[in-house]
Structure 1
């Protein structure tokens, strides 16, 4: 799939997803439920703000010494008989994986959930390799794969946009006969996946955190599939973003606590695993162990105003509080990284030409910043992206520039501004619709603008913009008359 998930424009994606009422209902239910679970789990931990500060310190320290910790981790993996490959680009990662598959004559592959493997497009690559089959073993990812590789809509709950009836229809293609009860659907999927695990030649996983001083990888999962992926096949490939590293298991413990409570509202998820190459005295585990450390644009953020984005631990909490994500869903972003974190990260990894619309897909309410367990100032980074695009890259031009210049001239001249105030009510008549007064629309000055031109169009397409009042009814006129009356009564 790669980083980009759609060829449609941002406006086209939004229009399409805003009409998807089933998806919106699913996201609303999920966001509301996650709020209760997440806040309860955080409260149980106690001193949540201090935990956040500690998580922030750990991530910033690691990023400030990233080359040292990556070298230490690499050395420790190789001391245990494993192999480490540094992939600068998506193509580098694909080529290395392809090389292993061909050299070892791999035929059957099982994968656990991993954003990085999706980011570098491993699944489409495997689909093109003759005689090679791959199956996603995370239940949600398995559902999406069986639905002709539907796009994920959340980084923690990839299939949150689907209901159980839709899942039942997908499984019926595989021979399922039964109800749409989640337990029955899960049992059917488990039966299929167990067979795939036992047949697999290669297991592929992501990495929540790499432990620098031991060479182990830390996986945090809700299902047992990741443990099976790293224990049954003889060959194991781990892909990790180069920033996903901690000095020792002590720091991993802190971040695991932050991750589990923020992602799914649990004290700990079902499986917290630390693993590596099989030791001689162990009965299972990979005999051939490979770790691919992926850059793929991450180094673009190092030493810049965007470095704090690399603190992200992929909990998805920012998605679960975002009002924009609630309405357009994950597919609206056109990236495998949706929501506020994706709106910041995607332009860093993929550039502004591909993802320059995403920093504007935000109300800048700051809810994402407030909930982030490692204190990434997400809404401020969105503003930084906008600043770069407008000031440094000068990507905003044409009618937007002309409109802003016109507004600047009007508002800078008291004489012109007063003239506009006198005619704005009458001038807006052609683009006004009538609407009855209601509690939700208290400021109804003879209607609402629903077809505003230029920059205001996107606003009026989705919101009621009150028509400007007549000059005699506006605030400035009222204030002037109020001051006169006050003077006449001696300031009373």
Structure 2
């Protein structure tokens, strides 16, 4: 089932650009994250070799996904865990709700999980009256605002401390200071009781290790470990491609992921979960469930143009360098995954170019995303391929198809080209002002709304070149072979 965007992309973009607080907050944080990445990756040394190794490992896994999934499932079951395969978002939610019903769960506490956001788990739980609380600080903040994440790593990137303090003050009924220690202390106080009362803990899965059946989580807050040990039931959501063959391969991503995501040399916690609590264990959930989600991923397998997008490790590095994301934030993309990775993967996962085919145009095609990607996904190439796919499907606007047909017909004949240039020159005095076109006609207004378009030269290059050639010929006729003759050696 295709998910529809609430409002058109251009309207979402205009709304975002008008929000000066959002733009300032996003720019400040992305600057910090990118600066940290550059510093920590340089300190590691041989960064390009690490990227190449990460790309090789992820490509190998995706190419042999059926084998490693089978190995993972067998090993999770050997450790006493329960494995569920969900073909769609609806199936993933149905599986979880069945678990919650069997356990008579009244409250669910979540760690950060983009896949649970992808399947819209929170809304499904709220609809049946089950209390669901986000325990990651950023996720907790945006849940209070009733919003979706706007960044893969920093969900509340678009909020500043003043807005957060006002929201916390509204909840507490008293004035909460805007300093960071006070804000985090308030959130910790509010969430502490939730950890003790939760019936089910939900987590994501950065990587699953096929050889051992382990789930690995990279976190900077203690909430991830509390969620996987305190509630009696732990349910992990995992995108079907998030596999590594062995712990030896994990070493590469322990170095790549934190540096690319937050600029850290290593995250505060790297947690390895091996199913439910066993005899002799000091902690751990009494029951473990792993929900492996397809939701469109298998449709990308075998696609030569796009299969590499499944190599993504969800670090968010492409967002931090993207000039479009930095000006509009994450919500303008209309779905769970923002930025360049979202512009590529959303149309593919949704399998709906008619609804989501505009996203690949939310890019300058500068290539910064590809350069930043720690596993070398050619995102800017994929954006071009998606644009081409939209054209082939006949989903571009009628005026655009007519315009390109007219352009093709005009440039096919020299006489038509010259005539069009003459017509353009006649139009310039009505459009240009002091060397710039400030308000372009028709769809050119989209460009000139935010910037000035340089006025074309009064004479075309061909006209100038013809004059230069004529001057040269005239000069050659008058030449006496004097000075300058030696230049013809």
> Shorter-chain TM-score category?
over 0.9
1:169 aligns with 166
The answer for the alignment partner of 1:403 in structure 2 is 403
Which residue in the other structure is 1:78 paired with?
A: 77
Match of 2:447 in 1: 459
5 Å matches for 1:380-459?
380-391=381-392, 393-430=393-430, 432=431, 434-435=433-434, 444=435, 447-454=436-443, 456-459=444-447
Match of 1:295 in 2: 294
2:471 alignment partner, one of 476, 481, 485 = 485
Contact 1:449 / 1:467 at 8 angstroms: preserved in 2? Answer: no
Cα distance in 2 between the residues matched to 1:87 and 1:346: 18
1: distance between equivalents of 2:349 and 2:244?
A: 22
> Which structure 1 segments of 5+ residues have no match?
436-443
Structure 1 residues 279 and 5, CA, compared in 2 at 3 Å: closer, same or farther?
farther
Whether the 8 Å CA contact 2:5–2:355 is kept in 1: the answer is no
Q: Which secondary structure state, in structure 1, belongs to the residue aligned with residue 171 of structure 2? A: coil
Q: Contact 2:340–2:363 (CA<8 Å) still a contact in 1?
A: yes
* Counterpart for residue 373 of structure 1: 374
Q: Deviations over 1:319-368 (max 9, x none)?
A: 00000111111111111100000000000111212211001111111000
Scaled by the length of structure 2, the TM-score of the pair is: 0.94
Matched-pair contact (CA < 8 Å) for 2:4–2:355: no
Superposed counterparts of 1:40-51, under 5 Å: 40-51=39-50
TM value normalised by structure 1: 0.93
Would the aligned equivalents of 1:5 and 1:335 in 2 still touch at CA under 8 Å?
Answer: no
Q: Distance in 2 between the 1:358 and 1:256 partners?
A: 31
Cα gap change, 1:409 to 1:5, in 2 (>3 Å) = closer
Once the two structures are TM-superposed, the CA of residue 5 in structure 1 deviates from its matched residue by 8.4
* Cα displacement string for residues 16-55 of structure 1 (whole angstroms, at most 9, x for unaligned residues): 1111111111121122222221001001111000000000
RMSD (Å) for aligned C-alpha atoms: 1.6
Report deviation, 1:242: 0.1
Match of residue 154, structure 2, among 157, 161, 176: 157
Once the two structures are superposed, residues 243-272 of structure 1 have per-residue CA deviations (whole angstroms, 9 ceiling, x without a partner) of: 001101111221121110000001101111
Residue 4 (structure 1) shift: 5.6
Structure 1 segment 246-257 matched on structure 2, within 5 A:
246-257=244-255
Q: Distance in 2 between matches of 1:109 and 1:5?
A: 27
Query: d(CA) in 1 for partners of 2:89 and 2:56?
Result: 30
CA shift in 2, pair 1:396/1:326, >3 Å: same
Q: Which runs of 4+ in 1 moved over 6 A?
A: none
8 Å contact kept, 1:452–1:460: no
Q: CA deviation at 1:67?
A: 0.7
Higher mean Cα deviation, 240-249 or 414-423?
414-423
- Secondary structure of 2:375 counterpart: coil
Cα offset, 1:429, TM superposition: 4.2
